[in-house]
Amino acid sequence: MYRSSIKQGTSKTSAILIGAGTLITGTINAVIIKEQDIIKNDAGKEFFHPFLQTFFMFFAEFIILLVFYGLMSYSINFKNEFVIRREEARRLGRNIKTNNLLPIFPALVDLIGSILQFVSIFLMDPSIYVMLRGGVPITTAIFSALFLKTRLYSHHKVGLTSIFLGLVFLCMSSLMTQQTHPAVSIIFALSSLVTTGIQFVIEEKVLAQSFLHPLKLVGLEGLWGIMLSSVILLMMSFIKCNEGSEFCNGGHLEDIPATLKQVFGNSSLLLVVLIAIINSSFFNFFGMSVAKYVSPVVRTSISVFVSILVWIYSFVRLNHEFSTLQLAGFILVVFGNLINQEILEIPGLNTNTRKNQEKRALFNESLAVEDDDDE
């Protein structure tokens, strides 16, 4: 049972390490941002700096680019695998000349989405935020159908409907339990699902037409993201706002000197920021590895456990109350993802799953061989 969850050529030990790494870094990724947000300055104001946090996130992605070149320089196995994949891409007619400008497009979308995410995390229960991220397949499916001409079958539609209903329950739970700006946080969180769906489709398009190693793609997105977020940071420093607002910093939407002074002047905050950057780099690395080496069953299980662990964190650390609506929404989102990823098959709706399509293709191929033999 366990071996079927590991892709061929991957050792059990490697799969366990990758799975555990993804689970740990995925949980820390959600928790550590909330830990940043709740640290207050001398005036008792919480750490609301979504633009600077986005810059830190892109810096973490840029580290992956350094990892890529390090592996290319010092790992013979990695370099050999890179050459093999590049030659395979050449045979498939893909452009093997790296265009370092291409990642600017997903980076721009990622910039917008990340700002939306950091604002929503600041405002809402992190467990609801993580569960709402389970709605990414809806936007990804819509944009994939529109721009990549991906076909949606009955089981996809049922799964996506379940996810949608789950999101409705989660939003209702947030509206009923959240005390400050619940509607704003929900709008921002759901909007980030749209940007993530667009980003996935753009990355899929880039990787389909040009050969670009996934680690290098993430690293280049980080490089472009650093430049783009720097411009945004500078712009926000000149936009004035009401000093009494929780979204305002020193009379502007962002106050870089004061924020950096706060970070380096508070050892706890500095430690949390450093952990967030380092963890985000590992999270991106494990995220690439888990998609490559383990099955969708393991990936979905990891997502479920991350949500549960963050939920426990919300109870213990943030004293959030249990919500039946949130539980119902969580179950529907998980159920929908299981169906959408074809992990759970429903009789009558599983005719066009990948597994059954492959079976029919093999059957038709065997019939064709028999006809040739008869002739």
In this structure, the answer to whether residues 312 and 369 fall within a common structural domain is no
Residue 141, both tokens: 């499916």
CA angle 339, 193, 57 (to 5 degrees): 120
Question: How many beta carbons lie within 10 A of that of residue 292, not counting itself?
Answer: 11
For 38-96, how does the pLDDT look when each residue is reduced to its tens digit (9 = 90+)?
Answer: 998 877 889 999 999 999 999 999 999 999 999 999 999 999 989 998 898 888 888 88
Nearest to 143 by CA among 173, 116, 178, 109: 109
- List alpha helices for 154-255, DSSP H: 154-177, 182-209, 214-236
Is the separation of the CB atoms in 195 and 135 below 8 Å?
Answer: no
Question: Burial level of 348, CB count in 10 A (0-12/13-18/19+)?
Answer: exposed
In this structure, the answer to whether residues 301 and 364 fall within a common structural domain is no
Calculate mean pLDDT across residues 302-319: 91
Is the separation of the CB atoms in 153 and 352 below 8 Å?
Answer: yes
Residue carrying the six token digits 């529109």? 146
Q: Which residue segment(s) compose the domain that 303 sits in?
A: 3-344
* Total tally of structural domains belonging to the chain: 2
Calculate mean pLDDT across residues 267-292: 87
pTM of the model: 0.86
Determine the pLDDT at residue 18: 82
The span from the CA of 114 to the CA of 111, in Å, is 5
In this structure, the answer to whether residues 255 and 361 fall within a common structural domain is no
In this structure, the answer to whether residues 224 and 372 fall within a common structural domain is no
Q: Which carries the bigger pLDDT value, residue 231 or residue 10?
A: 231
Q: Does 2 have pLDDT greater than 50?
A: no
Determine the pLDDT at residue 159: 92
Nearest to 10 by CA among 354, 297, 304, 295: 295
The span from the CA of 295 to the CA of 5, in Å, is 5
Residue carrying the six token digits 């870094």? 25
Determine the pLDDT at residue 357: 60
In this structure, the answer to whether residues 139 and 192 fall within a common structural domain is yes
Question: How many beta carbons lie within 10 A of that of residue 353, not counting itself?
Answer: 19
Work out the percent of the chain whose per-residue pLDDT is above 70. Answer: 88
Residue 145 identity: A
The span from the CA of 321 to the CA of 134, in Å, is 21
Is the separation of the CB atoms in 6 and 290 below 8 Å?
Answer: no
Nearest to 27 by CA among 251, 300, 283, 220: 283
For 208-240, how does the pLDDT look when each residue is reduced to its tens digit (9 = 90+)?
Answer: 778 888 889 899 999 999 999 999 999 999 999
Packing angle of the helix pair 104-123, 182-209 (nearest 10 deg): 160
Determine the pLDDT at residue 373: 54
Determine the pLDDT at residue 355: 66
For 166-196, how does the pLDDT look when each residue is reduced to its tens digit (9 = 90+)?
Answer: 999 999 999 998 878 899 999 999 999 999 9
Dihedral sign, CA of 57, 62, 65, 71?
negative
In this structure, the answer to whether residues 371 and 236 fall within a common structural domain is no
In this structure, the answer to whether residues 222 and 362 fall within a common structural domain is no
The span from the CA of 234 to the CA of 261, in Å, is 17
Determine the pLDDT at residue 333: 94
| pLDDT tier at 16, thresholds 50, 70, 90 | confident
In this structure, the answer to whether residues 366 and 227 fall within a common structural domain is no
CA 348 to chain centre: 32
Supply φ then ψ for residue 46, to 5 degrees.
-70, 160
For 92-148, how does the pLDDT look when each residue is reduced to its tens digit (9 = 90+)?
Answer: 888 888 788 889 999 999 999 999 999 999 999 999 999 999 999 999 889 888 887
Residue 155 identity: H
In this structure, the answer to whether residues 271 and 356 fall within a common structural domain is no
In this structure, the answer to whether residues 257 and 373 fall within a common structural domain is no
In this structure, the answer to whether residues 22 and 160 fall within a common structural domain is yes
In this structure, the answer to whether residues 51 and 122 fall within a common structural domain is yes
| pLDDT tier at 158, thresholds 50, 70, 90 | very high
Q: SS3 helix, strand, coil % of the chain, rounded to 5?
A: 75, 0, 20
